[in-house]
Structure 1
Amino acid sequence: MLNVLDLFSGAGGLTEGFRSESFNLLAHVEMDGDACQTLQLRDIFSYLKKVDQLDQYYSYITGKLTWAELVSVVPKEVYGRVVQATISENSIDEIIARLDVLVGDRKIDGIIGGPPCQAYSTVARSRNEAKKSEDERVYLYKFYVRFLEHFKPDFFVFENVKGLYSFKDVDGKKLLPKIKYDFSHIFNDGTENFDIDERLINSADFGVSQTRERIIIFGRRNKFRPIHFFESLDNLRERGPVLRQLFRDLPELNAGNTVNHYGSLQPIEFVKKYFRENDPPLTQNIARPNRDDDLEIYRIAVQKKMEGENLKYNQLPDRLVNHRAKDIFLDRFKALDGDGYSHTVVAHIAKDGHLYIHYDLNQNRSITVREAARIQSFPDNFYFEHSRTAAFRQIGNAVPPYLSKKFAFVISQFDKKLSNTI
């Protein structure tokens, strides 16, 4: 079993995929408190599953046990592997020291993670341009390099937004080539460096019901034979269910409602096997309340989508227009296509659901936390702490676990070769 560290963990999308392929997650580093408790809870889930006591976990996520009661039935080291910290120049030495204690004398085989991507996002870039030189998020990858230098893993997986392809450093040169250079020139003492490969990956090509493009950088110590990571990953391409199939077994509900029981329709086989493994209770199937004018706009957006179009804000009746600049940001409202995949789920979903309107006119609402989680390929037994807003934020920031599972599978197939030197 290979040992892995997860940096910039979020709710643990990468962790979930690697754990499902029997990797041993030794520790997580994450700054968000809500996400940290989600990570702790998932570590507890993994432990209780191994000891055949999932009823304790299900009692907690359905409100029958308190957090204190839950943690009392598991060893402290199970939920003590989460380091809550903001990775910075001031904190990195302390974080590494804490990780050293958690790791002990075990070898770190891999490091996974992706720094926060807001600095590279094309959406936020214009307003951040003036303060680029002062934005520490631009250079978070350098701390990732520091972890690689200290723990000397055999491989790493680095994830970020595709805006990194065009992002320019303060000197006007593109940053991505610098990142790749730094990743491949970590060790200056004669030890082996990393061979680097990079590709833009669309989750929709690998079984996730969402169009989500992200840059993946894979590195492997060059003392090993190359494993052709992306070529092997290509063999795992598959088409996931369209949204109408993905949501088939979920109950109907309206804006502002919570319905935590499955509907009367049977799930498709993929959903039954992957999302509903171990027969979990349905949780967090909660829809936001909305104002009447927003719900009217939602209906218009769904009707437009049924005609094969996306609603533009300047197409709305004047009585429904609340923003003065009606010809700017025309995609303020967007309905999902029940017979297709979702567009990218991002953290903005924590603020409102206007870009994720349910395709069913009869329900007339934005998607629930559980529906967003399914779009991101989180299984139904995955629970997000604490609030609805926090859950949406964690979901939007995550790497889809089903995609991560395929990364882990490719690496696991070459486990036997990790000791074969050139």
Structure 2
Amino acid sequence: MEIFDSHGRACDPGAPLTARAASMSKSSIPVVDIFAGAGGLGEGFEALGGGNRFHVALSAEMDRHAVQTLRTRAFFRSFPNGEAPRSYYQYLRGERSAPWTDDTRKMWDAAAHRACQLELGRIDHDRYLDERIAAIAEDAKRRQRPWVLVGGPPCQAFSLVGRARNRGIADYVPENDGRHFLYQHYLHILARHKPAAFVLENVKGMLSSQVGGAHIFKAIFDQLHLPGGANGPRYRIEPLVKPTGSGWQPKDFIVRGERLGLPQTRHRVILIGVRSDVPSITPLADDHEPVHLSQMLRGVPELRSSSTTEKIDSWPRFAARCLAQCSDYAKDVDTATAKHLKSLVPQVRDGLDLGTGGRWMEWFEAPRYPKHLHALMRDPKVDGMVQHETRPHMTRDLLRYAYAAAFAQVHDRSPRGAQEFPADLHPKHRSWASAKAFVDRFKVQRSEAPSSTITSHLAKDGHYFIHPDPTQMRSLTVREAGRLQTFPDNFLFEGPAGAQRRQVGNAVPPWLGHQVASVLSNVLS
């Protein structure tokens, strides 16, 4: 079976690089990103030093929409020092059907070659990936440059939610779930091609996941040291963050994103492997001041949801009615929230007739990001917001969002379970009032705190990602979630809305990739 690039054309493992790509490989360190998703890890690497320190030579991903995103981003990154052509920004705004012109078509074709749709575990796909990596490794050796392998295998088999779901499957056997063993693709690549360093990212549940009564983390950790056995390369596995004690423990590999300046409470396992002939990295101190949601969403145009169950002719009238109704519902549960909801009614009744956004929205106020994120996220050529569009919800959910957001403004937390929700707003879920129900089924993202972890659940509904303003009655947009994930203003997620949300939720935040790149850059000289 042939392998296809993001254009749908058959790939040639030995296809020549463009002049720009060749010049990048002379002066920068190539990165191979497998299980790449939307490319958050690679984005962080390429952002270091304006793209002059690392470049992503190959991204491998099985989701076709994510591959389209990787292709578009590879094209943007093909130009030095952020000098992407005008056509790219026109494409960003929806003014063109493609980001390239006749003059940049070769750059576009080369970008497509660097983003391949591959499903690791399929023999033909594995063979093709092996050939591509062999060519990259050989080119790096010839130029006397190191190269780096990065990626995050799918986490459903390791995550706490995924494991709970698997336990509900009558004939589920962990030993037969291939997702537990996708890390073995790393072992093959490490053993055969011997990169100077590697990065493996996964969920915290990896530390406690068991297969056949044995902890999977220990097996992964031990095998990554000697991926090819006694005759293969040797790696030291080192933590990104300074350990708290004298000896390393599994918990020392947990990175708490909010302590590194990420605007969300994202806790992940990050394993950094350096080959035995490479110096040890200097771990980072995780003592950064928290970055709040309000700092990331400054100047964002206000939006409102549309309803799937009724037509909204006037948002001021509709919103005033909903808030008054919520206030009445709340009286028997929380009088303070009921009073707050009532006080908002005149504000929305006399306010703007908000829209639902779109592919491109001009802003009235340019974003002012925290200092450490400004260079990563801000592009002065971008004078608006791409993909800032709300998703529709049924009116009952809009009422729940309004109540939950108002409750959070009063109590500085989301309402927990059935006992803190008005009976009239209880969803018709059989598990809603049970002891096993999720107490945070409706979670508000608070303005003056980091967001909760952005996850792929974003693609299913907005219940975990409710906007903090009760007058907007909506969940976060793709662009807002992308900002909390630290994707730059000029980053475009390809595909339909659901695919965009899934990509944002599954991504490694570029800021975390940038942090990893910074410690590796110091030792890969």
- TM-score (structure 1 length as normaliser): 0.91
In structure 2, C-alpha distance between the alignment counterparts of 1:409 and 1:68, rounded to whole Å: 30
Instruction: Indicate how the Cα distance of structure 1 residues 83 and 99 shifts in structure 2: closer, same or farther if over 3 A, else same.
Output: farther
Output the CA distance in 2 between the equivalents of 1:410 and 1:200.
16
Q: Is the contact between residue 208 and residue 239 of structure 1 (CA under 8 Å) also seen in structure 2? A: no
Match of residue 97 from structure 2:
66
| Mapped partners of 1:61, 1:406: distance in 2 | 27
2:74 and 2:115 in contact (8 A); partners too: no
Name the aligned partner's letter for residue 303 of structure 2.
L
**CA shift for structure 1 position 255:** 1.0
For 1:189-338, list aligned pairs within 5 A: 190-198=231-239, 199-228=253-282, 231=283, 233-234=284-285, 237-239=287-289, 241-256=291-306, 257-258=356-357, 260-270=360-370, 273-280=375-382, 281-306=384-409, 307-314=411-418, 315-321=420-426, 322-327=428-433, 328-338=437-447
Between 1:11-20 and 1:353-362, the stretch displaced more is 353-362
Measured in 2, the distance between the counterparts of 1:402 and 1:384 equals 17
Corresponding residue number in structure 2 for 1:30: 61
CA–CA distance in 2 between the matches of 1:46 and 1:18?
11
Equivalent residue, structure 2, for 1:419: none
Task: Tell me how many residue pairs correspond in the alignment.
Answer: 411
* Partners of 2:137 and 2:110 in 1: CA distance: 12
Q: Which position in structure 2 is the counterpart of 1:184?
A: 225
1:14-413 equivalence runs, <5 A: 14-21=41-48, 22-48=53-79, 50=81, 52-67=83-98, 73-75=104-106, 76-88=109-121, 90=123, 91-101=125-135, 105-107=139-141, 109-129=147-167, 130-170=172-212, 172-188=213-229, 190-198=231-239, 199-228=253-282, 231=283, 233-234=284-285, 237-239=287-289, 241-256=291-306, 257-258=356-357, 260-270=360-370, 273-280=375-382, 281-306=384-409, 307-314=411-418, 315-321=420-426, 322-327=428-433, 328-413=437-522
Structure 1 pair 68–43 and aligned structure 2 pair: CA distance change class (3 A): closer
Q: What secondary structure does 1:73 align onto?
A: helix
1:103 is displaced (CA, Å) by 5.8
CA distance in 2, matches of 1:352, 1:251: 22
- 1:23-60 Cα deviation digits (max 9, x unpaired): 02110110000000100000111124558343111111
For residue 413 of structure 1, report the CA deviation from its aligned partner: 1.5
Q: Deviations over 1:142-200 (max 9, x none)?
A: 11111111211011010000001110112x01110100111011233645410112410
Shift of 1:94: 3.1
In the alignment, residue 124 of structure 1 is paired with which amino acid? G
Kept in 2, the 8 Å contact 1:30–1:85? The answer is yes
Contact in 2 for aligned 1:57/1:70 (Cα 8 Å): no
Unaligned segments of structure 1, at least 5 residues: 417-422
In structure 1, distance between residues paired with 2:197 and 2:477: 37
Q: Distance in 1 between matches of 2:298 and 2:205?
A: 34
Contact 1:48 1:57 in 2 (8 A): no
Structure 1 CA distance for aligned equivalents of residues 393 and 157 of structure 2: 31
Distance 1:255 1:70, change over 3 A: farther
Cα deviation 1:237-259 (Å, max 9, x = unaligned): 53353111211111111114115
**CA–CA distance in structure 1, aligned partners of residues 412 and 199 of structure 2:** 38
Rounded Cα–Cα distance in structure 2 between residues aligned with 1:174 and 1:30: 27
Distance 1:46 1:258 in 2: 28
Moved more, 316-325 or 357-366: 316-325
Q: Judging changes above 3 Å, is the alpha-carbon distance between structure 1 residues 278 and 133 closer, same or farther for their aligned structure 2 residues?
A: same
Deviation string for 1:287-321 (max 9, x for gaps)? 11121110110111112212123213313333322
Which stretch shifts more, 261-270 or 56-65? 261-270
Q: C-alpha distance in 2, partners of 1:216/1:43?
A: 24
CA spacing shift, 1:336–1:167, aligned 2, 3 Å = same
Query: For 2:60 and 2:112, how far apart are their aligned partners in 1?
Result: 13
Aligned to 2:413, the other structure's residue is in SS state: coil
1:69, distance to aligned residue in structure 2 (A): 5.1
Where 1:278 maps in the other structure, the secondary structure is coil
**Partners of 1:263 and 1:375 in 2: CA distance:** 18
Conservation of the 8 A alpha-carbon contact between 1:358 and 1:367:
yes
Residue in 1 that maps onto 2:341: none
TM-score, normalising length from structure 2? 0.74
2:78 and 2:91 map into 1 onto residues whose CA distance is 14
Unaligned runs of at least 5 residues, structure 2: 1-27, 240-252, 307-355
Percentage identity across aligned positions?
Answer: 33
AA of the residue aligned to 1:16? E
Question: Which moves more between the two structures, 313-322 or 22-31?
Answer: 313-322
**Which secondary structure state, in structure 2, belongs to the residue aligned with residue 365 of structure 1?**
coil
**Code of the aligned partner of 1:37:** Q
Alpha-carbon separation, structure 2, partners of 1:395 and 1:25: 19
Q: C-alpha distance in 2, partners of 1:216/1:33?
A: 26
In 2 relative to 1, CA 89–33 (structure 1 residues): closer, same or farther, beyond 3 Å?
A: closer
Cα 1:138–1:399 shift into 2, 3 Å: same
TM-aligned CA deviation for residue 201 of structure 1:
0.1
Amino acid at match of 1:362: T
The structure with higher relative contact order (CA 8 Å, sep 6+) is 1
What is the DSSP-based 3-state SS (H/G/I as helix, E as strand, rest coil) of the residue aligned with 2:72?
helix
Q: State the shift of 1:104 in Å.
A: 5.6
**Is the partner of 1:214 in helix, strand or coil?**
strand
- What letter matches 2:129 in structure 1? I
- Matches of 2:445 and 2:270, distance apart in 1: 27
Q: How far has the Cα of 1:348 moved from its partner?
A: 0.8
User: How many Å separate the matches in 1 of 2:63 and 2:462?
Assistant: 22
Work out the CA distance in 2 between the residues paired with 1:338 and 1:51: 31
**Larger Cα-atom Rg:** 2
Distance change in 2, residues 1:311/1:152 (3 Å): same
